[in-house]
């Protein structure tokens, strides 16, 4: 296999630029080739950096790998929390607002570069680094699931939904929103925008058939919420 320089900017300028370039290239290569298959020379070429620089920055291949996973976990978490912050607490149109939220979640957290890479690394190398991915589990799902569940609980409390267990509802919401994308995810592909919208739409519709209230919440926008408890 011949190594070709990436079509990026020729050599990245500055210390920090190189660091970022290395992390990006390493994520891409680890993700594409797996840990065993990843080749430091290829990472170096793709980062536009010499091999020695990678060893200077990260020590060895395993440390590099761990750094990549930590980095991806952190960035993905940030994205997920930022997206959860856009959850529709006081929806005008519940269905449309939840569809919008599901689409944002997919596009900004699950289908984007970081999300795809992290998911693949967890799937392929999760068993080889139990403590590393236990850490991911705590910092990732362990914190994001409850945060999302809390928003659904709030929506139920305000009278928009009829939910018994908010944790279960949150997981089912995402499962439904992604139901049509499973095969694409399995093969590492990136679904088109319209596929994401399609899946979110049918998923949210089903979710609301199960958990929506027939009565569209008695004007419980601000003051009425507490009365319905």
Structure-token pair, residue 55: 């060893």
Asked if 34 interacts with a copy of itself (CB under 8 A), we say yes
User: Which of 56, 182 has the CB closer to DNA?
Assistant: 56
Site string for a copy of itself, 113-132 (x = CB under 8 A): ------xx-xxx-xx-----
Contacts 24+ apart (CB under 8 A), 98-101: 98/173, 98/204, 98/207, 98/208, 99/197, 99/200, 99/201, 99/204
Site residues for a copy of itself, 203-222, by CB under 8 A, read 203, 206-207, 209-211
Would you count residue 2 as binding a copy of itself (CB under 8 A)? no
| Binding of DNA by 221 (CB under 7 A) | no
Nearer to DNA by Cβ, of 65 and 87: the residue is 65
* From 20, 32, 34, 40, residue interacting with DNA (rule: CB under 7 A): 40
* 147 scored as a contact of a copy of itself (CB under 8 A): no
Stretch that binds a copy of itself, among 14-22, 90-98, 99-107, 177-185 (CB under 8 A): 177-185
x-or-dash pattern for DNA, window 60-89, by CB under 7 A?
Answer: xxx---------------------------
Which of the listed partners (DNA, a copy of itself, none) does 108 bind, with a CB threshold of 5 to 8 Å by partner kind? none
User: Measuring CA to CA, how many Å separate 119 from each of 28, 104, 105, 128, 138?
Assistant: 12, 18, 15, 15, 15
Complex with DNA: residue 36 or 123, whichever CB lies closer: 36
166 interacts with a copy of itself by CB under 8 A: no
| Residue 108 near residue 75 (C-beta atoms within 8 A) | no
Among 141, 146, 218, 224, binds a copy of itself (CB under 8 A): 141
Q: Does 38 sit near DNA (CB under 7 A)?
A: yes
Q: Could you tell me the smallest distance in angstroms from the CB atom of residue 30 to a copy of itself?
A: 11
> Among 14, 105, 22, which Cα is nearest to 59's?
22
Instruction: For Cα atoms 171, 174, 177, give the angle at the middle one, nearest 5 degrees.
Output: 150
What is the spatial distance between Cα 206 and Cα 204, in angstroms, rounded to a whole number?
A: 5
Number of neighbours of residue 204 by Cβ within 10 angstroms: 24
Nearest to 156 by CA among 78, 69, 98, 80: 98
State the residues that interact with DNA by CB under 7 A. 1, 11, 13-15, 18, 38-41, 48-53, 55-57, 60-62
């Amino acid at each position: 296999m011949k190594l070709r320089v990436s079509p990026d900017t020729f050599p990245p300028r500055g210390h920090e630029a190189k660091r970022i370039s290395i992390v990006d290239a390493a994520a891409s290569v680890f993700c594409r080739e797996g840990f065993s298959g990843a080749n430091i020379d290829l990472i170096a070429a793709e980062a536009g950096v010499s091999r020695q620089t990678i060893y200077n920055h990260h020590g060895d291949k395993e440390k590099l790998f761990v750094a990549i996973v930590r980095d991806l976990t952190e960035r993905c978490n940030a994205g997920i929390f930022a997206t959860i912050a856009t959850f529709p607490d006081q929806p005008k149109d519940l269905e449309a607002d939840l569809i919008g939220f599901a689409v944002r979640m997919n596009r900004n957290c699950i289908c984007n570069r970081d999300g795809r890479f992290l998911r693949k690394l967890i799937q392929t190398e999760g068993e080889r680094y139990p403590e590393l991915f236990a850490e991911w589990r705590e910092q990732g799902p362990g914190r994001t699931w409850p945060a999302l569940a809390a928003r659904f609980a709030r929506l139920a409390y305000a009278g928009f939904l009829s939910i018994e267990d908010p944790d279960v509802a949150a997981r089912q919401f995402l499962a439904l929103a992604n139901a049509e994308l499973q095969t694409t995810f399995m093969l590492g592909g990136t679904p088109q925008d319209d596929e994401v919208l399609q899946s979110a739409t049918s998923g949210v519709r089903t979710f609301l058939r199960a958990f929506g209230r027939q009565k569209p919440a008695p004007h419980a926008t601000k003051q009425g919420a507490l009365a319905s408890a």
